[in-house]
Amino acid sequence: MKIRVYYLPFLWLLCMLVATPQTRAQQSPAQDSLAVIRIEAQQVQLQLQTPAVTQEKEEAKQTEEASKGIQNPPPLHKVFAWHKIFWAIVFALGGYFIIRFSSALLERFAERNAQYRIQVKGLLPIIKIFGWLIVLFIIIEGVFAPPIETILTISASLGIAVGFASQDILQNVFGGILILLDAPFKVGDKVEIGGQYGEVVEIGLRSTRIVTPDDSLVSVPNGKLMNEAIINSNAGEPNCQVVAELFLPPYIDTQLARKIATEVAQTSQYIYLNKPITVLFFHTLNQQRPYLKMRLKAYVMDIRFEFNFKSEMTELFLQEARRQGLFSDADLKG
């Protein structure tokens, strides 16, 4: 049977209608599997996002609790309880006796070893300051252990009052720390500060103590030392230069006088011969009378022999000068 050409479009449409349900039935499993995969991917994505969201919520909660803690710090009677105060006193007394005992040991060792006396004594202020800082840290952090909120509250309330009331104290404390760092002098040095001359026996947080030649104890505030000229005779060394001055008649033989002074200095029990001996002469007036001032400059083994050396030089030089006829007693009387 012959099929006419104009029937072909109708036959094609009929085939398509019959084949479409089967094709859809064949494609539906694939589409269902794709849908399942998409659902599972969305679930995995939600699971991955859940910890991050939970963590953000926890951080927000902690921040809120911290802000509430700052606004409402714990009461002071819980921080400064009686048992904590008791242990704070125990640690403070223990630190005091330990620091004092160690300082006494170093002091005794320094006095028995003149060569290392100044170096060892220079450690005393450092040991005391750092020792008390350690004790203070133990008491605050280990005993009281106040929360940061309490520290902020106390600091805010007392900071202004303490600042105005203790300006001089803080200035002296900072001055003591700067002296330890800059080290213009050490314990054991002979210094002159503001017209006061003597040996430095202690460098504290508030003041520096000096013993003068007449055995007087002078306390100089550290804040004042920052604006004062400081003359250091030995700069940390046990030996130092000592100057002995004598007034002589203007006509004496200076060559003979220099020879006598040099020999007398060389035979002294206090002399430090590793450094030079110098004798200088100057014309001067005393009560309208001309004199020749002799300056004998030499070094002593220990700074503490300064005045012993001056006295010995004066006595020995005058005895030897008279014996060699450099001048007479009448010349000295004028």
Centre a 10 Å sphere on the Cβ of residue 183 and count the other Cβ atoms it contains. 13
Helices (H) and strands (E) in the chain, counts: 11, 8
User: What are the residues whose beta carbons fall under 8 Å from the beta carbon of 294, sequence distance 6 or more?
Assistant: 245, 246, 247, 248, 257, 261, 279, 280, 281
Model pLDDT for residues 240-294, shown as the tens digit of each residue: 888 889 888 888 889 999 999 999 999 999 999 888 999 999 988 877 788 889 9
Q: Does the pLDDT at position 69 exceed 50?
A: no
Q: Residues 154, 156, 157, CA angle at the centre, nearest 5°?
A: 65
- Retrieve residue 71's tokens: 């606004």
Tell me, what's the pLDDT at 27?
46
* 90 touches 98 (CB < 8 A): no
- Retrieve residue 40's tokens: 């599972």
Amino acid letter for position 174: F
Tell me, what's the pLDDT at 264?
92
* Whole-number Å distance between alpha carbons of 227 and 202: 19
The single residue listed with the structure tokens 């170093």 is: 106
The pLDDT confidence band at residue 24, using thresholds 50, 70 and 90, is very low
Q: What's the average model confidence in pLDDT over 121-150?
A: 80
Model pLDDT for residues 141-191, shown as the tens digit of each residue: 888 777 776 666 666 666 665 565 566 777 777 778 788 788 888 888 888
* Whole-number Å distance between alpha carbons of 320 and 304: 26
Tell me, what's the pLDDT at 4?
53
Q: Does the pLDDT at position 73 exceed 50?
A: yes
Q: What is the mean pLDDT of the chain?
A: 76
- The pTM (predicted TM-score) of the whole model is 0.57
- Retrieve residue 29's tokens: 């499993």
Which of 237-268 are b and which e, b meaning 16 or more Cβ less than 10 Å from the residue's Cβ? Answer: ebbbbbebebebbeebeeeebbebbeebbeeb
Element (H, E) at 65: helix 8-71
* 207 touches 226 (CB < 8 A): no
The pLDDT confidence band at residue 334, using thresholds 50, 70 and 90, is low
Tell me, what's the pLDDT at 294?
92
Please give the share of the chain, as a percent, with pLDDT higher than 90.
Answer: 12
Tell me, what's the pLDDT at 167?
67
Amino acid letter for position 143: V
* Whole-number Å distance between alpha carbons of 234 and 188: 9
The pLDDT confidence band at residue 297, using thresholds 50, 70 and 90, is very high
